[in-house]
Amino acid sequence: MDMITGQLKGRGAVGNPAGRFEQTERLAVDDGWWAGDDESDLAHKLLTKIRPDAARSVITRNQSPDIPFDRSINPYRGCEHGCVYCFARPSHSFLDLSPGLDFETRIFFKEHAAKLLEKELRKPRYKAAPMALGVNTDCYQPAERELKITRSILEVLDAFNHPLSIITKSAGILRDLDILTSMAERNLVHVMISVTTLDRELARKMEPRAATPERRLKTMQALNNAGVPTGVLASPMIPGLNDPEIEKILTACAEAGAVQAGYLLLRLPYELKDMFTAWLEAHYPDRARHVLSLIRQCRSGNLNNSEFGQRFTGEGPYAEIIRRRFHVAQNKLGIPERTLDLDCSHFEVPLARGDQMGLF
């Protein structure tokens, strides 16, 4: 795996480290043979490659006690938004790809997601419960504009009157406002917009290809104005980096009509620990040690803690300060806690092509 290093414009990771399952690693080295003044023709150019994912099912199940849903759909693997903190990055290692720049440039889409979903929903023993979209990677990343995989999934869920929750940081969700408003009238959908910072410069470095903070707020307001209940997920909160903005983020989202609010503390599983450290040292060398120290204070002395009940909020005095500040601001602004209070009673399997209607 090539170890591309340096800060590439429009990309989040500052390298392309080998995944934890790979046995070999290739390191790109400049041997100085090029003596020209203009080296632009030799610059490493990363183009996004999008390929179909031969998935046999689309619903992912979980039994985690600290997750408010038991099923989810991720239309895409990898994410072009390039958020450096994304906890889903290490999953690219299962594809023998890097969780670094490969994660941002090697995107896989579930080509037959809608057909597979309909097949699973038609099973006699299937019982409806809120379906979560965009939990691992954003379901409205740039590829969705052309592929419309997420929209095809929404069409199936709409036809079955199946409740769903969407998490996104993209204004692209407004392209599906027609379906979402219809489902909202039946209390079948709510949306959480991820807002990590109001600082456009910080956002550009952390989330280089995601919508700007201003655009996310406008998207939240547009959804709420259309009758689609939309809240804010202030995630991830990074100690010493964006957590000073908690109150400002919630205030701005309250003004945009946020109906719910939640937050998650930064998670750094597997390779992400080293990747995030490298990003900090590249972009914020003056405070990298301080930020990492605060993270360790929230993670029992480590950079990550995957224990249920602690992985999303952390522990220790600093984690408690973040928690209290969030809830004080939330209560002051009158924004409720995040819930999944959706109506599952409308779920109904529609007639398939060729089926006959019953007489009674």
Residue range 190-216, pLDDT digits in tens: 999 999 999 999 999 999 999 999 999
CB-CB contact of 139 with 76 (8 Å): yes
Which amino acid makes up residue 195? Answer: V
CB-CB contact of 240 with 287 (8 Å): yes
Report how far residue 293's alpha carbon sits from residue 140's, in angstroms, rounded to the nearest whole number: 34
Q: SS in 3 state form for the chain?
A: CECCCCCCCCCCCCCCCCCCCCCCCECCCCCCCCCCCCCHHHCCCCCCEEEECCCCCCEEECCCCCCCCCEEECCEECCCCCCCCCCCHHHHHHHCCCCCHHHHHEEEECCCHHHHHHHHHCCCCCCCCCEEECCCCCCCCCCHHHHCHHHHHHHHHHHCCCCEEEEECCHHHHHHHHHHHHHHCCCCEEEEEECCCCCHHHHHHHCCCCCCHHHHHHHHHHHHHCCCCEEEEEEEECCCCCHHHHHHHHHHHHHCCCCCEEEEECCCCCCHHHHHHHHHHHHCCCCHHHHHHHHHHHCCCCCCCCCCCCCCCCCCHHHHHHHHHHHHHHHHHCCCECCCCCCCCCCCCCCCCCCCCCCC
Residues of the chain with pLDDT under 50: 1-5, 31, 33-43, 359
Report how far residue 171's alpha carbon sits from residue 215's, in angstroms, rounded to the nearest whole number: 7
pLDDT of residue 38: 47
pLDDT of residue 168: 98
CATH code of domain 47-333: 3.20.20.70
**Burial state string for 17-45 with b = 16 or more CB within 10 A and e = fewer than 16:** bbbeeeeeeeeeeeeeeeeeeeeeeeeee
Report how far residue 171's alpha carbon sits from residue 220's, in angstroms, rounded to the nearest whole number: 9
Report how far residue 329's alpha carbon sits from residue 318's, in angstroms, rounded to the nearest whole number: 17
Report how far residue 11's alpha carbon sits from residue 83's, in angstroms, rounded to the nearest whole number: 8
CB-CB contact of 188 with 163 (8 Å): yes
Instruction: Tell me the residue length of the chain.
Output: 360
Q: What's the N-to-C CA distance of the chain in angstroms? A: 63
CB-CB contact of 335 with 231 (8 Å): yes
